[in-house]
Structure 1
Amino acid sequence: MRYIIIGAGAVGGSVGGRLAQAGREVVLVARGRHRAELAAHGLRLLVPDGESRHRLPVVDGPGPLGELRADDVLLLAVKTQDTVAALETWADVPVAGGGTAAERLPLVSLQNGVESGRLALRRFRHVYGVCVWLPSAFVEPGVVSAAGSPLTGILHLGRLPHGTDDTARRIAADLADARLEAPVVPDVARWQYAKLLWNLGTAFEALCGPAADEAAHALLARVRAEGERVLDAAGIAYASAEEQRAARGDKVTLVPLDGAPRGGGSSWQSLARGTGTIETDYLNGEIVLLGRLHGVPTPLNELLQRLAGRFAREHRAAGSMPVTELVRRADEAERG
């Protein structure tokens, strides 16, 4: 199997680098300076067991590849807001032996939230969801880091909307060889919704920085409790915190890496890099949407969605809002 990593940033680059280390065939898809650095110098991967460099094929789209191979696997690792463009770019690419990528190839969503899988199912026949537990960072063009040890990450994997098959098991086996545990589960959406609840805190982190005091942790608990009320009202199942802890244990422990300070997760990194966009509409915004559909108020997640979007559009600094200010606004939002 050849793995085409569509979006070779923090998560995509870490998975691609680890797969390459394990001897799997990998193609990286990237743009701009990142693509130029990857093409010129290879992918530099920083992990606890040492630094490595991988000179892999790098493209900015399907054109240079021509006809895709029947054993290709598309790993989609762009941010959710970039999903539609990526699907449109790759869906109609021809595959050797007939048909298109959307008709024949597996597409694996290595993304936060749940919306990308739904979008993919509109275009692709064979879609696989992943609950991504992989602490990673885009350090600079050409360089990504993954600080987890002894495993780089845990990626619960299954077909969408549900089920398993031999393709999922083959992908999981390759990931396992690459220091990425990949339990194949028939109910991957249940794990994705559990991760969604966790990701509701990424907007807080982007605004205020990592939670460091009692007030911050108390607000995060309120935000996630609001999310749980919404999922319960919608009848959506999600893995419990106890089940997640049992599955992960101490398999992915963060280790400080020289030259790769970790300031925060993916939303924090979006603000820190000044990308102008942030994934919050598909994280906190998913809870807001479900709350409106099922009659559950979501003032805290609405607030985080709105503020994080404003910070991104205005290119405001990551972590620049005082926690006390956000708590004050949250209290006001709940009072209505």
Structure 2
Amino acid sequence: MRVAVLGAGAIGAYVGAALHRGGADVHLVARGPHLAAMREHGVRVLSPRGDFTARPHVTDDPAEVGPVDYVFLGLKAHSYPGCGPLVAPLLGPETALVAAQNGIPWWYFHGLDGHPLAGRRVETVDPGGATSAVLAVERAVGCVVYCSTVIEEPGVIRHLEGTRFSLGEPAGGRSARCLALAEAMVAGGLKAPVEPNLRDDIWVKLMGNVAFNPLSALTRATMAQMCEHDDTRALVATMMTETLAIARAAGADPQVSVAKRIDGAWRVGHHKTSMLQDLEAGKPLEIDAIIGAVVELAALTGVPAPALRHVHAAIGLLNHTATAVPVG
């Protein structure tokens, strides 16, 4: 099995190292000091499950790799429309694109037969079809990541918790390509259940991300701080309730209560969300897939979502002002 990891950052390099350890032919596509360190020393993984080092092929040029069986997308979702030149050299006739992204994927309504919105494009994450033009929905394999990693230093990945990467086809079922990838991931020490209804998993994770990510960036608060502040906790609950209603109108049925989801977030403790970390690092915020697409789906399905709309407006302005060039 040949696997290319496009965007071998914290999650991508960890997955690539695990797959390589399990026997897959892995190629990491990265850049900068991280690329140089992995080329020289391999990928060092520091984990409570045991440290290890893997030495897959590392490059900044996908053309060196050529067609593979799977492309694992470790990029942020807002990078997808512009990733065509990087993806194209990796594609063969049967290459699958494994999208390990947060939020609503560009393929969401693909394969959702019988739903009134089946085949509909989600403009927020596929503007004008720009994403699906370079990442064909027929190639897509969904992936919901329940794993936390950070780049401790170039070439060194610290695995904090979780090894689960739920896989699934947009059309549902348990395909041969999903089962083969799951087997390779398990061989490398990961958990990779193939879910017949992956959209349910997407929404369970998104219930947390849609509320905690933007609110953390707006308030600079940790998970625990948001859960322990009564008014913010109430706002989180309202946003999650709206999200559940949208999920059910959009063809999913996530089986988790709002109270349980908030309690799980509180147990994480004083953790900074990825959106807050991006804000502090001066990076663009991953708004579109995490909350923008949810607001779009609310409009498409006719579900009222005033709390989500208001928070979406505020985080959008923050993203603009935080990345704007100062005037005068």
Check whether TM > 0.5. Answer: yes
Gaps of 5+ in 2: 109-125, 324-328
- Give the equivalent residue in structure 1 for 2:142: 129
Aligned equivalent of 1:139, options 126, 135, 152:
152
Give the drift of 1:17: 2.1
Aligned equivalent of 2:213, options 198, 202, 221:
202
Partner SS, residue 185 of structure 1: coil
Alignment of 1:79-98 (within 5 A): 79-91=76-88, 93=89
Give the drift of 1:32: 2.6
Partner SS, residue 251 of structure 2: coil
The normalised TM-score by structure 1 is 0.75
Question: Could you tell me whether the CA contact under 8 Å between 1:284 and 1:305 is conserved in 2?
Answer: yes
* Change over 3 Å in CA distance of 1:311–1:31 after alignment to 2: farther
* Change over 3 Å in CA distance of 1:191–1:173 after alignment to 2: same
Partner SS, residue 51 of structure 2: strand
Aligned equivalent of 2:187, options 177, 186, 204:
177
Alignment of 1:54-133 (within 5 A): 54-65=54-65, 67-69=66-68, 72-91=69-88, 93=89, 100-101=91-92, 103-118=93-108, 123-124=135-136, 125-133=138-146
Question: Could you tell me whether the CA contact under 8 Å between 1:121 and 1:127 is conserved in 2?
Answer: no
- Give the equivalent residue in structure 2 for 1:236: 251
Question: Could you tell me whether the CA contact under 8 Å between 1:205 and 1:268 is conserved in 2?
Answer: yes
Give the drift of 1:315: 4.1
Give the drift of 1:169: 0.7
- Give the equivalent residue in structure 1 for 2:196: 186
Whole-angstrom distance in 2 between the partners of 1:272 and 1:143: 21
RMSD: 2.8
Question: Could you tell me whether the CA contact under 8 Å between 2:17 and 2:55 is conserved in 1?
Answer: no
Question: Could you tell me whether the CA contact under 8 Å between 1:135 and 1:265 is conserved in 2?
Answer: no
Question: Could you tell me whether the CA contact under 8 Å between 1:30 and 1:59 is conserved in 2?
Answer: yes
Give the drift of 1:138: 3.3
Partner SS, residue 156 of structure 1: strand
* Change over 3 Å in CA distance of 1:16–1:188 after alignment to 2: same
Whole-angstrom distance in 1 between the partners of 2:240 and 2:274: 18
Q: 2:233 corresponds to which letter in structure 1? A: H
- Give the equivalent residue in structure 1 for 2:237: 221
The normalised TM-score by structure 2 is 0.77
Count the aligned residue pairs.
287
Q: 1:114 corresponds to which letter in structure 2? A: I
Aligned equivalent of 2:274, options 242, 251, 266:
266
